[in-house]
Amino acid sequence: MTARDTAPGEAFLYIYRLKPGMGPAYDEKHRAVWPEILALIDAAGIYDYQIWRHEEIVVCRMRARDGFRAASAATAASEVQRAWTASMAEIFLEIGDAEGEPLWLDEVFAHRVGETTR
């Protein structure tokens, strides 16, 4: 998949794949997110961040003040982010494609009152 960005405030969604049986460990890590990670999320302009999990599939949805690329650049430059990701390395099976892009979810249907659907 090619690099992409989102408009400021536009939601972006992607998935992670966990190693078999690692869902509870993933949940446990997220019940105790480091305060430094929360501060980094705020500093990166991410103001709406939600995570869902079904077995070994994790769905992440975010909205960032300046779009995905700006938020990603801010978090990628952080030693705290590198340490957080490393602390979960044994949990993840797949977090990106061969080019390092997130495993993007593409919208295939939407129904919004007053808007045209795809």
Average pLDDT over residues 57-84: 95
What domains appear along the chain, each with residue ranges and CATH number? 12-104 (3.30.70.100)
Q: Catalytic: 30?
A: yes
Task: Using the CB atoms, write b or e for 37-67: b if 16+ within 10 Å.
Answer: beebbeebbbeeeeeebeebebebebbbebb
Q: Which of 4, 9, 11, 30 is catalytic?
A: 30
Average pLDDT over residues 21-33: 97
Q: What's this model's pTM, rounded to 2 decimal places?
A: 0.86
Average pLDDT over residues 30-40: 98
Dihedral angle sign, alpha carbons of residues 113, 4, 10, 28: positive
Cα 98–104–106 angle (5° rounding)? 135
